Amino acid sequence: MKIESIGEFGLIEELARLLPEGKDVIKGIGDDAAVLAGRRRDSYLLVATDSIAENVHFRRSSGAYWIGRKGLAVNLSDIAAMGGSPLWAVVNLGIPSGISVRYCRQLYRGMAELAEEFELSVVGGDTFRSPDGIVISVTVIGEVERKRCVFRDGARPGDVICVTGKLGEGRGKHLKFTPRIKEGRYLGESFSPSAMIDISDGLFADLGHICRASGVGAVIGESAIPLAARLRGKSEKVKLRALGDGEEFELLFSLPENEISNLLSSFSAETGTTVTPIGKIIDDQGRRELVGRDGKVKPFPETGYNHFS
Amino acid sequence: MKIESIGEFGLIEELARLLPEGKDVIKGIGDDAAVLAGRRRDSYLLVATDSIAENVHFRRSSGAYWIGRKGLAVNLSDIAAMGGSPLWAVVNLGIPSGISVRYCRQLYRGMAELAEEFELSVVGGDTFRSPDGIVISVTVIGEVERKRCVFRDGARPGDVICVTGKLGEGRGKHLKFTPRIKEGRYLGESFSPSAMIDISDGLFADLGHICRASGVGAVIGESAIPLAARLRGKSEKVKLRALGDGEEFELLFSLPENEISNLLSSFSAETGTTVTPIGKIIDDQGRRELVGRDGKVKPFPETGYNHFS
């Protein structure tokens, strides 16, 4: 049996099943970051890890600065999705022979500037020869107050589904996004989000992750989804495909309905980022529906990125 | 300028210089693991990270179980070299298309069994398509009591240089070694090692790291080095080359002279591992000398693995 046949999520589930999990583990594999017994009685440690590889997640020609920055940014996005703040990072860099020192420096600079912006320290790393392409694996350790930690599995029927920013920005954004740390912190501090995830696999796939983890369903209004300007006037099909691309790195979360008016009146002023209610959590676990602009109800489109397909 | 011209250590120094380091960082890049403000006032957190890549650190044919095990083991060795205990690990696995699910399972099993043996939890991971070869990046988080944390930079003139196990075991051991966690713990608990490192770059290169960090020199007696049985009767040249191969993953440490007799009488009985005094730390920073079997003094051989040479 080839990997392609069980896919990325199948593989991660295998990993979770086989590998031991024990002391001081609040939540292991299965959320945006692992949640671990913290440094204070009222805090958790968070650990997120993610890799990006040349010709899979980026092209070498996209610019070393942005590639390095993205290697760190995807992990900060995972910390943001738990409501946490980053503390430290370690970097594993696989470099093919023939890459210039200048290129590596630019790559580090992209990481360094983002690390400085979010006040985290890069405390360790390893470099190794990677025969055929650049590989960047970063692990970020963060922290969150226990009562502000937001998991994937707490969405409740009646909660309103919201998303930050605009979706479907496409390739440019995949590389240059700003991790929503500030927004995740503000949500955790001032509201009680019941579930949260960052959009990396695509809106429908990631909302699916929340639904599966929480044992709920979801209904989204297609016209409510905040689309990037570049999609204006485009066909339904193009828009839905863009939403399936993933790598948006916006926050997708559910919030009790009675907090929505407060959220809408303060979020953008406090964070500089827009927030949009796009649907509702429902009781029926099997139902994940999109209400079209024409009022017709259809199941979520089958989209989302699978690294092994 | 190509990477080859500054080498792996040059690259890591670049990284250390460029990347910010700040809050709660006791020791960042430059030791076996990063040392961070801990979960209790009297403890530190440790973070080690290391990658192994197909055709650089292993061949696919060496067996998935042992490859997976090694991906974790190299990091445990780094935690051991600080005197610490592992708590948690995260795993990044880059898989070329066409690898079988069975192969991946075996790889995980190698990790899982080692994790169980050392009572750590694998709490997260990422899998991604790696176009041309398997890449495993693991990050391990550990813990150590403050007063038992052993850095590289504390070696003092007069200290005795010791090493665990036997050196020069060669290829077989590179893959199947047991990380010296138990030995590192026992040293930290019962003695006051002034500096410690795990032998990954080779005896002479790693002792050089201790000397540089501590601002000291070292003299080793060639006949005192505990060699693997397979090197018996081999020429001087072959023996020295074997010592330069690296990937021994034994502990190399310095200890005040007055603790040596206690060490020699208890270490092996307590840990099941041999320990051997091989030389002395000296004041003169520039001097790193090997006293041959013939009594002649020569500088350390130029050995040690460089990933980019």
Residues in chain B within 8 Å Cβ distance of A116: 20
Of A17, A76, A80, A124, nearest to B122 by C-alpha is A17
Q: Could you tell me if A298 lies within 8 Å of chain B, comparing CB atoms?
A: no
Query: Tokens representing A2?
Result: 């080839």
* pLDDT score at B162: 98
Closest-CA distance of chain A to residue B133, Å = 8
Place of tokens 């020791």: B27
Residue in A48, A51, A123 closest to B137 by CB: A51
Give the model confidence (pLDDT) of B30-39 as tens digits: 889 999 999 8
B88 vs A308: CB contact, 8 Å cut-off? no
Residues whose CB is less than 8 angstroms from the CB of residue A39 and which lie 6 or more positions away in sequence, other chains included: A45, A143, B37, B38, B39, B45
A56 vs B99: CB contact, 8 Å cut-off? no
Q: Could you tell me if B11 lies within 8 Å of chain A, comparing CB atoms?
A: yes
Query: Tokens representing A35?
Result: 């949640």
Q: Is the pLDDT of residue A261 over 90?
A: yes
Q: Could you tell me if A119 lies within 8 Å of chain B, comparing CB atoms?
A: yes
* Domain formed by B160-299, architecture: Alpha-Beta Complex (3.90)
* pLDDT score at B9: 57
Give the model confidence (pLDDT) of B240-290 as tens digits: 999 998 899 999 999 999 999 999 999 999 999 999 999 999 999 989 999
Closest-CA distance of chain B to residue A50, Å = 6
Partnered with residue B135 across adjacent β-strands are B53, B94
Region of residue B98 (phi > 0: left; psi between -120 and 50: alpha; otherwise: beta):
left
Give the model confidence (pLDDT) of B39-94 as tens digits: 888 999 999 999 999 988 899 999 999 999 999 999 999 999 999 999 999 999 99
A1 vs B132: CB contact, 8 Å cut-off? no
Residues in chain B within 8 Å Cβ distance of A125: 12, 15, 29, 49
> Hey, which residues 126-145 in chain A have their CB within 8 Å of chain B?
126-133, 135, 137, 139, 141
pTM: 0.91
CATH 3.90.650.10 maps onto chain B at 160-299
Q: What is the Cβ-side half-sphere exposure of residue B102, based on CA atoms within 13 angstroms?
A: 2
Residues in chain B within 8 Å Cβ distance of A137: 51, 92, 126, 135, 137
Asked if B145 and B192 count as a contact pair (C-beta separation under 8 A), the reply is no
Q: Could you tell me if B51 lies within 8 Å of chain A, comparing CB atoms?
A: yes
Give the DSSP H/E element, type plus range, for residue B125. Answer: strand B121-129
CATH 3.30.1330.10 maps onto chain A at 3-148
- Using a pLDDT cut of 70, give the percent of chain A over it: 91
A90 vs B21: CB contact, 8 Å cut-off? no
Of B170, B31, B168, B150, nearest to B84 by C-alpha is B150
Q: Could you tell me if B100 lies within 8 Å of chain A, comparing CB atoms?
A: yes
Residue in B52, B119, B308 closest to A97 by CB: B308
Q: Residue range B171-186: average pLDDT?
A: 91
In this structure, the strands spanning B43-53 and B34-37 are antiparallel
Cα–Cα dist B227/B243, whole Å:
9
Q: Is the pLDDT of residue A17 over 70?
A: no
CATH superfamily, domain B3-148, is PurM-like, N-terminal domain (3.30.1330.10)
B119 vs A39: CB contact, 8 Å cut-off? no
Q: Is the pLDDT of residue B309 over 50?
A: no
Q: Is the pLDDT of residue A64 over 80?
A: yes
Q: Is the pLDDT of residue A229 over 90?
A: yes
Closest-CA distance of chain B to residue A19, Å = 5
When comparing pLDDT for B113 and B21, which is higher?
Answer: B113
